Amino acid sequence: MGFYIRVALLCGIVLGFVSYVFFFSPPRSFPQQFLLSVRSGETAGDIAETLKADNAIRSEFVFKVLLRLSRSHNRIIAGTYYFDHPQNAFSIVWRLHIGNFNLEPVKVTLPEGTNVSQMNAIFKNSLPIFDSQTFLTLAKSKEGYLFPDTYFFYPGEDSKQIIETMEENFSARISNPAVQKVLSASGKSKADILIMASLIEKEAPDTVNRQIISGILWKRIKIGMPLQVDAVMPYITGKPGSEILQTDYKIDSPYNTYLYKGLPPGPITNPGIDAIIAAATPTTTPYLYYLSDEDGKFHYGKTFDEQLANQRKYLK
């Protein structure tokens, strides 16, 4: 008799294990990261169908039975659920029952002078779920107007909402009375100031040199001299500054400040407030040329001959 009991127990264990593997365990194709959106009033069948389509459960029928047995089928809490690792059917049912969304905001820092493509890369690396293509499509025309700052976004945050948040931050910063006073006193349009700010943001790291370079660049525009700003080349080519070749300076692009006079058609980065103010408050100097040495120190010249002398002296 004991023998049959042991066999029955063993069969029960095996059957339970097989049942778990085939009906309750997470599928091998369970997505690494995904969001489940549960709308208010959505039925257990709708949710089971969505989970099966996402390869998060093995059986719609078994999942619905679990919901009913746990009395959760009519107590599912609506919201967005984040799954960052495979979970079995029991765990999913329990999360839906108690409203365990597993959503925590992610800190994302966008440095000043970051362009849209660089922002896209940062978001891709920071947010577990991010629609990169939609972001690029919507944000490309907003270059210069997406304020670089530290933000907190949820995994799967809508790209349009992310862009709107950065635009609202830009509007709030630029609408500051002190900033507005400076911009108005400059006598230049906001669009031109933002383009100039995007250039000097990449040309110099500090306020004093930014204002000096701002004065030099506005002077070049006034006398009809090309701006000849190196910072546009990575924007044109998509390559890091260290990989720019002499042949790249001949690329026919409206952003090429070596070939075309005046400001580029639009900003090449999203500048911070310091660069924006520096663009609007240029320092008047006798200089027309500048360069920075290997230590980041700037050297200025009034003539091209002085620029050549500085190159020989400081760029060895």
Q: Are residues 114 and 78 in the same domain?
A: no
| Per-residue pLDDT reduced to its tens digit, 250-292 | 999 999 999 999 999 999 999 999 999 999 999 999 999 999 9
For residue 206, what are its two tokens? 């500090």
The count of structural domains within the chain is: 3
For tokens 């075309």, name the residue. Answer: 260
Give the Cα separation of 118 and 191 in Å (integer). 22
- pTM, two decimals, is 0.76
Tell me how many helices (H) and strands (E) the chain has. Answer: 13, 6
Give the Cα separation of 231 and 254 in Å (integer). 14
CB 114 within 8 A of CB 122: yes
Residue 178 falls inside a structural domain: no
Q: Are residues 110 and 94 in the same domain?
A: no
Per-residue pLDDT of the chain in tens (316 residues, 90 and over written 9) = 453 454 344 344 433 444 444 446 778 888 877 778 888 878 888 888 888 888 888 888 888 888 888 777 677 888 888 888 888 888 888 888 888 787 788 899 999 999 999 999 999 999 888 899 999 999 999 999 999 999 999 888 889 999 999 999 999 999 999 999 999 999 999 999 999 999 999 999 999 999 999 999 999 999 999 999 999 999 999 888 888 889 989 999 999 999 999 999 999 999 999 999 999 999 999 999 999 988 889 999 999 999 999 898 888 7
Give the Cα separation of 35 and 48 in Å (integer). 14
CATH label of the domain that carries residue 23 = 3.30.1490.480
Q: Are residues 80 and 130 in the same domain?
A: no
The reported pLDDT for the residue numbered 287 is: 96
Q: Domain end: 98, 121, 148, which one?
A: 98
Q: Domain end: 115, 148, 173, which one?
A: 173
Q: Which domain holds residue 147?
A: 106-173
Q: Which amino acid is present at 185?
A: A
Q: Domain end: 76, 98, 120, which one?
A: 98
231: closest CA among 179, 275, 284?
275
249: closest CA among 269, 263, 232, 262?
232
Q: Are residues 231 and 141 in the same domain?
A: no
What one-character DSSP code corresponds to residue 266?
Answer: S
Q: Are residues 20 and 92 in the same domain?
A: yes
Q: Are residues 260 and 192 in the same domain?
A: yes
